[in-house]
Structure 1
Amino acid sequence: MTKIGAVILGFCSLAIFMPWVCSGLVKEEEIWSETLCQRKEKVTKLHFYNQELRQGPNKTLYIVAKSEVTDSLPSQFGMVFVLDHLITAGPEPDSKKLGRMQGTVMLSDLHEQSLVVLVNVIFTYGKYNGSTLSILGRNPYTEKVREISVVGGTGVFRMARGYVITRTHSESDDHTLGVYEYTVFVSH
C-alpha cells in the first residue's frame, strides 16, 4: 500500500469510528446542555493559598522570555513566566494539598510591576477533585489587595464566572518562597 493509500485509509477509519467512539460523550453533553436553563446557579466561596517556590531543585516558577527592555526598566516589562504551583488549605507549604495552579504570567506594564495572569486552578483533592477554574486578568502585585477575573471552569465549575481577591501572605527572608492568599467567589 502506498503512503497516500495508508493516509486515506486512516482518515476513512477516523470518519467511520469517531462518531461511534464519541457518541457517549456527545449524548452526555446534550443532556447537560438541555437541562442548563432549568438549573439554579450556585455561588461558591473558595479559600486557598498558592505556594510559589522560586529557587532550588523543586522550584515552580520559570522565566521563559524577556524583551530587549526588560532589564533596563524597574517594571521588568516583557518578562514571561510559566508556573506550576501547589495550592494548599493553609499558608504552610506542608498544609493540606488541594491541587495546582498552572499557567503563564507576564509583566505587562511599562511603568509599574503588574502581571497579566493566565492560569488554571486544577483541583486534585477533596470535593472539587477533577474540576478547574480559569483565571485571567491584571494583577498589580505590589498593591496590598488585588482583584482578578474568573472567566471559566470545568467539572463542578462548568460555565463559571466570578472574581478572585488575592493578597501576598508572606515572603521568605531569602525570597525563595512566596505565599499568596486567594479568596474566590464563583457563580456556576
Structure 2
Amino acid sequence: MAKNLIILCILLLHFSALTVASEESDEFFSKKISSLQSFKNEKLTHLHFYFHDIVTAKNPTAVRVAEATMTNASSTFFGAVSMMDDPLTVAPELSSKMVGRAQGIYAEMPIVGGSGVFRFARGYAQAKTYSWNPKTGNAVVEYNVYVLHY
C-alpha cells in the first residue's frame, strides 16, 4: 500500500489536459458518467515516514532542475524545482526499513492522485525537517500524510 502512495505522495504530478466539456464533445474523447456507485466508501489513511533527500553524494537522490534568479539568495531556496527519487523509511536512519520511494518533481506538496488503492486519492502532507546539513544540503524530513481514498 505504501508503494502505491509513492506515486502520489509529495509529488507534484499534474496530468493537465485542458478540455471544455459540452454536449457536442467527441464521445470517444469524453463521456459523462451518471453514477459512481463504487465511490461511496471513502477511507482516511495516515502514513508516517522519513524522506531522505540526498543532493550531494556520488549518486544523489535529488537534483535541482530549475530555479528563479533569487533562489540562491533565499535562505529557504524559494523558487527551486527539483527531480527526486528519494528513499522513504520507517525511521530517520537511512539504514532503517525502506517502505517506498518518492519519485517525481517537488515544489509544493498536494496529493493529486495515485494508483492501486490510492486511485482518485486526495489529501495533504505535513513535513517537518528532522535533520539538515547546511554544508551539503542533505536532509531527512519527517512526513505525516493524510490521504482520502476509496
Scaled by the length of structure 2, the TM-score of the pair is 0.64
Moved over 4 A (4+): 71-77
Matched ranges for 1:171-186 at <5 A: 171-172=132-133, 174-186=135-147
1:156 aligns with 2:117: yes
Task: Provide, for residues 80-104 of structure 1, a one-character-per-residue CA deviation record: whole Å limited to 9, x for no partner.
Answer: 3211111111110011111111222
Rounded to whole Å, the distance in 1 between the matches of 2:100 and 2:75 is 33
Q: What amino acid does structure 2 have at the position aligned with 1:155?
A: G
In terms of fraction of residues, the more helix-rich structure is 1
Shift of the alpha carbon at 1:186? 1.1
Q: Whose relative contact order is higher, 1 or 2, with alpha carbons under 8 Å and at least 6 apart?
A: 2
Q: CA separation of 1:51/1:35 partners in 2, compared to 1, >3 Å: closer, same or farther?
A: same
- Give the paired residue count: 115
In terms of fraction of residues, the more strand-rich structure is 1
Rounded to whole Å, the distance in 2 between the matches of 1:160 and 1:43 is 10
Q: What amino acid does structure 2 have at the position aligned with 1:96?
A: K
Shift of the alpha carbon at 1:159? 1.3
Shift of the alpha carbon at 1:57? 0.8
Identity %: 39
**C-alpha RMSD over aligned residues:** 2.5
Classify the secondary structure of the residue corresponding to 2:83.
strand
Aligned residue in 1 for 2:52: 51
Structure 2: 5+ residue stretches without partners: 1-34
Structure 1: 5+ residue stretches without partners: 1-32, 106-115, 118-135, 137-148
